[in-house]
Amino acid sequence: MISLDEPKKFRPLVGQAHQVAMNMLRPVSRKYDKGEHEYPRELDMLASMIDGLSESGAAEGAGANGVGRGDDAKADKRTSTGGTRNGANLASVLSIAEMCWGDVGLLLSMPRQGLGNSAIASVADDEQLERFAGVWAGMAITEPGTGSDSANIRTTARLDGDEYVIDGEKIYVTAGDRADHIVVWASLDRDLGRAAIKSFVVPKGTPGMRVDRLEHKLGIKASDTATIIFEDCRVPAANLLGSPEVDTKQGFAGAMATFDNTRPLVAAMAVGCARASLDLTRDLLAQAGVEVDYDRPAQNQSAAAARLLEMEADWEGAYLLTLQAAWMADNKQPNSLEASMAKAKAGRVGSAVTLGCVELAGSIGYSETELLEKWARDSKILDIFEGTQQIQQLIVARRVLGLTSAQLR
């Protein structure tokens, strides 16, 4: 059974992540927000530190590379005997939440911690996991005209001998310019619908692949967001992640399995950013003489204190849903419903809490003297990418009602 307490074995990891967020990310947060598209060189040293921790086992698989399929022998044994396992997925969401308490954009700029890395960790076979170990992978899903409907992908991958030829355009690719590999979602046969959509690992510099432009954005400005064009781009057939077989009975489930692991990570980002806003706002209110009493009903306190308590309660719900989705992945339990619930709740809460904190702090919240206004800008993307709020609610409704995508659109 899941415990709502932070696992003891992860507390050193969480503490280390918090120290990094406070001492390495926060001090340069404003600098790289203003210097959009400027690469944060400080992250190279941090990435080396994380690599060292991972190699020593101290990081317990945390970060985007840490998400897993829960298929190791220990997990099989524990779940079959009724035991529970706190593993890499839970470690990842806990550490990512702490890092985003520091800065979301910088976390998304971290070498070898791209969403493409979590896609590789989720669906690659053992040989691919070994071959792509140590790469920095962005993930290219969204296309012009497809929006959040990933099943309507128009990019194609045509088998030619022992290579796939990829053609199409991808937009809003996080770390699309800096990453050294891109995980591209493409269709093997558009007539077969969503079942034919597969993901391919494309090394940067592959002929036929080019970064067309970088986007200027509302938030997460430290992170580069690119449009990438693929024209007769050839990659080895072995770079198709998972099985090349098209199973029309399985439908889109194979590709969607990636989201079951990545959506809790995005939820964790929203949780971390929202908690940063709550922590700072609580301190600012205390400096203004507004004390929050957790032993008294909210209606018996000032309006500002009551509002903060309301936001903290909402945050707690998002946090617990995020832990649940990750814990279920660690324990080989289907978590598609819970992953979407966590993403929907955390994305909405992140935007509501950060904006609410700006309002409570008044002119301080709106100015650049503090990071509150930046966190409000950064958090909005977390309600959009990896599936918008509306898409998550649609997925949840389908799961709860037992309907297919064709039955409930």
Structure tokens that stand for 122 in this block: 């989720």
**Per-position DSSP letters for 341-366, written without gaps between them:** HHHHHHHHHHHHHHHHHHHHHTHHHH
The confidence band for 249, taking pLDDT boundaries of 50, 70 and 90, is low
Of the candidates 327, 254, 402, 321, which has an alpha carbon nearest to the alpha carbon of residue 10? 327
Q: How much is the average pLDDT of 346-358?
A: 98
The confidence band for 74, taking pLDDT boundaries of 50, 70 and 90, is very low
Domains in the chain (CATH in brackets) are 1-409 (2.40.110.20)
CA distance linking residue 267 with residue 96, whole number of Å? 10
The confidence band for 61, taking pLDDT boundaries of 50, 70 and 90, is low
| Amino acid letter for position 115 | L
Q: Which conformational region is residue 70 in: left (phi greater than 0), alpha (psi within -120 to 50 degrees), or beta?
A: left
Q: How much is the average pLDDT of 345-356?
A: 98
- Higher-pLDDT residue of 192 and 168 is 168
CA distance linking residue 218 with residue 216, whole number of Å? 7
Q: How much is the average pLDDT of 24-32?
A: 97
- Higher-pLDDT residue of 238 and 54 is 238
Check residue 80 and give its pLDDT. Answer: 46
Check residue 24 and give its pLDDT. Answer: 95
Check residue 254 and give its pLDDT. Answer: 56
The confidence band for 1, taking pLDDT boundaries of 50, 70 and 90, is low
Check residue 48 and give its pLDDT. Answer: 81
With 80 as the cut, is the pLDDT of residue 18 above it?
Answer: yes
The confidence band for 73, taking pLDDT boundaries of 50, 70 and 90, is very low
**Per-position DSSP letters for 277-307, written without gaps between them:** HHHHHHHHHHHTT----TTS-GGGS-HHHHH
> Do 188 and 196 form a contact (C-beta atoms < 8 A)?
yes
Check residue 76 and give its pLDDT. Answer: 46
With 80 as the cut, is the pLDDT of residue 81 above it?
Answer: no
- Higher-pLDDT residue of 41 and 247 is 41
Of the candidates 137, 65, 130, 136, which has an alpha carbon nearest to the alpha carbon of residue 96? 65
Q: How much is the average pLDDT of 212-227?
A: 97
With 80 as the cut, is the pLDDT of residue 68 above it?
Answer: no
Check residue 302 and give its pLDDT. Answer: 96
With 70 as the cut, is the pLDDT of residue 136 above it?
Answer: yes
Check residue 47 and give its pLDDT. Answer: 83
CA distance linking residue 89 with residue 241, whole number of Å? 20
Cα–Cα separations (whole angstroms), residue 42 to 45, 64, 225, 296, 379: 6, 19, 19, 44, 23
- pLDDT by residue (tens digit) across 373-403? 999 999 999 999 988 999 999 999 999 999 9
Q: How much is the average pLDDT of 330-353?
A: 96
Check residue 75 and give its pLDDT. Answer: 46
Of the candidates 379, 348, 116, 175, which has an alpha carbon nearest to the alpha carbon of residue 272? 379
CA distance linking residue 202 with residue 196, whole number of Å? 18
- pLDDT by residue (tens digit) across 283-338? 999 999 999 999 999 999 999 999 999 999 999 999 999 999 999 999 989 999 99
| Polymer length of the chain | 409
Structure tokens that stand for 227 in this block: 């449009």
With 80 as the cut, is the pLDDT of residue 278 above it?
Answer: yes
Q: How much is the average pLDDT of 273-285?
A: 98
Mean pLDDT for the chain overall: 90
CA distance linking residue 145 with residue 164, whole number of Å? 24
Check residue 201 and give its pLDDT. Answer: 98
**Looking at the annotation, which residues are catalytic?**
386
- Share of residues in the chain with pLDDT > 90 (%): 74
Check residue 113 and give its pLDDT. Answer: 85
With 80 as the cut, is the pLDDT of residue 53 above it?
Answer: no
